[in-house]
Amino acid sequence: MTESGGVLGVIGAGTMGAGIAQVALEAGWTVRLHDAQPGAFDRGQSRIADGLRRRAAKRGLAFDAERAWIQGSLARLEECPDPVAAAAGADLVIEAIVEDIDAKRALFAQLDAAAGPDTILATNTSALSVTAIAEAATHPQRVLGLHFFNPAPVLLLVEVVAGARTDSTVLDRATSIVGGWGKTAVRSADSPGFIVNRVNRPFTIEALRMLEAGEARVAEIDAAIRGDGFPMGPFELMDLVGLDVNLAAATAVWAGLGRPERLRPSPIQAWLVAEGRLGRKSGAGFYRFGQEHDPVPDPIPHNVAVPVRPERALTPERIVRRIRAAIAEEAVMARDEGVATDLDIDTAMWLGAAHPEGPFAWLRRQARAAGA
């Protein structure tokens, strides 16, 4: 690694690979990018160029300075015909290919054989076991998880995940590299959902439980949560992310943790996915998205979600408390299982899930209020 930046290999030029490449280019690194699909590099390159233009506009650079900065950054982006070329001479290689264990294991065996002895190999997997991926390499001690969030150029969080045999110096070096790129690293154990995708599960699941029990309506829950300082409510979030994507994540974490009842995915969500109501991308989810008006709640049949019963109706304060408490309970469990420290969980929920404060900070505030 030189003062002006090191060399990063990126495998996969899709949403995450392009985003991560942009982050490293912005920090002055050289990026060697490989994608197996014809045309994917070009699409990734134009995505990176758009991202750099947006960044330059935000920085308020003058026209000439902006052009020079973008061209200078793109000049450090190289197309590689195969993973071997991307790994050769790299300080760090980050894999962001399809979320498939066999594909990732095959790639890591190849990368490990191609990379020099000091190269760190990282996976950006969201849900697979880092250990299972690392074991495909002859040197699993140099393999770790570096879990970026989407959009990678904007969101500051990176979960640094140790596999069973990852060397602690590799974790430290990777933490220092992403820190140099302006990211905030938190340490997570190699456990289902790592920190954010696990601790944030109750944000949507507890809201769905309220629908299942006829305790509140979709728009009331979203309004209550927004009123508490969250950028959007749980149903707005599911509509944005895609109900199918959210359900797949919920199911993976639930299954990975041994199918605990508290995290059981909701039949309401499964029904909506089966109906093709996937959120914004399909035009309807919990809300209906018309061209000419703001989204309006899309009715859910009474045999799927029971109507709100006046005697059970929750106030906005109770809605917020139930959801916050469920998240805090999951956070305490994750901490007690050794997934991460209180501080790292709070940081991760703040930077990775845009919570107004972390669950432990919220618990402390509740304790102070109760004692006052």
Q: Tell me which residues are annotated as active site.
A: 126, 147, 159, 197
Among 30, 125, 188, 266, binds ligand NAI (CB under 6 A): 125
37 forms part of the interface with ligand NAI (CB under 6 A) = yes
Site string for ligand NAI, 250-269 (x = CB under 6 A): --------------------
- Alpha carbons 300 and 307: distance in angstroms, whole number: 9
User: Is 85 a residue that touches ligand NAI (CB under 6 A)?
Assistant: no
Distance CA 260, CA 281 (A): 30
Residue among 5, 6, 9, 12 that touches ligand NAI (CB under 6 A): 12
Q: Are 136 and 161 in contact (CB under 8 A)?
A: no
Shortest distance, position 121 Cβ to ligand NAI, whole Å = 14
Q: Does 93 bind ligand NAI (CB under 6 A)?
A: no
- Can you tell me which of 73, 119, 124, 269 binds ligand NAI, judged by CB under 6 A? 124
Choose among 275, 267, 317, 331: nearest CA to 298. Answer: 275
Q: Closest distance between ligand NAI and the C-beta of residue 241, in Å?
A: 8
Kindly state the greatest CA–CA separation across the chain.
67
CA angle 271, 330, 339 (to 5 degrees): 120
Minimum distance, C-beta of residue 244 to ligand NAI, in the bound complex (Å): 13
Nearest approach in angstroms of CB 152 to ligand NAI is 8
- Specify whether the CB–CB gap between 119 and 92 falls below 8 A: yes
Is-contact 143 108, C-beta < 8 A?
Answer: yes
- Residue 248 binds ligand NAI, judged by CB under 6 A: no
At which residue do the structure tokens 């890591």 appear?
108
Give the C-alpha separation, 261 to 147, whole Å: 27
> Is residue 343 helix, strand or coil?
helix
> Tokens in use for 3?
């003062």
With CB under 6 A as the contact rule, the residue among 97, 161, 253, 328 that binds ligand NAI is 97
In whole angstroms, the minimum distance from the beta carbon of 48 to ligand NAI comes to 13
Does 99 contact ligand NAI by CB under 6 A? yes
Positions in 104-123 near ligand NAI (CB under 6 A): 107
Q: List beta partners, residue 30.
A: 7
> Where does residue 187 rank: exposed (0-12), middle (13-18), buried (19+ CB within 10 A)?
middle
Mention every residue, 6+ apart, whose C-beta is less than 8 A from residue 102. none
CB of 210 to ligand NAI, least distance (A): 26
> Does residue 23 bind ligand NAI (CB under 6 A)?
no
- The number of residues that bind ligand NAI (CB under 6 A) is 22
- Binding of ligand NAI by 20 (CB under 6 A): no
Q: Does 16 bind ligand NAI (CB under 6 A)?
A: yes
Residues forming contacts to ligand NAI in the complex (CB under 6 A) are: 11-17, 35-37, 40, 96-99, 103, 107, 124-126, 148, 150
